Amino acid sequence: MGASIVRGRDIALQMSGAHDGSEFVELVPVEGDFEYAAYSSVAAVITLCHERGVPADLWPMYYGIDDAHVPLDEVRKKCESLRTALANLRTEDIGQHWWLQRVWEWLAAGEIFCVME
């Protein structure tokens, strides 16, 4: 299994119920969807972008964090900063990796996203 990505016009926290009757909080996309990528694909894109001057800490990565603890304001800020940083990449750089192309498309369309385990 790889990384789970929540992306959309916004992201919200929602109470959900499990089959055993317990409740939990989960991230849900607002006018968006769930996506999946191999951990190696995510790492390759972050490395490529870092080599092109995009700091790794701009990426909204939340491995090992429960959905309820994801700081949504920070996600929004990171996505805005990442959108600005990726705008400086060359088209050839963006086209080098399918996942980078997808991220660029989401951000260019005004969406936000976060990467979870």
Q: Does pLDDT of 1 surpass 80?
A: no
116 touches 3 (CB < 8 A): yes
- Alpha-carbon distance of 98 to 96, in angstroms, equals 7
In whole angstroms, give the CA distance from residue 40 to residue 97. 12
C-alpha–C-alpha distance, residues 76 and 94, integer Å? 21
Residues 13-47 have pLDDT tens digits of 998 877 777 778 899 999 999 999 999 999 999 99
pLDDT reported for residue 82 = 98
> Rounded mean pLDDT of the chain?
94
**Per-residue pLDDT, 81:** 98
pLDDT of residue 17: 74
Q: What is the pLDDT of residues 43-89, one digit of tens each?
A: 999 999 999 999 999 999 999 999 999 999 999 999 999 999 999 99
Q: What is the mean pLDDT of residues 96-100?
A: 94
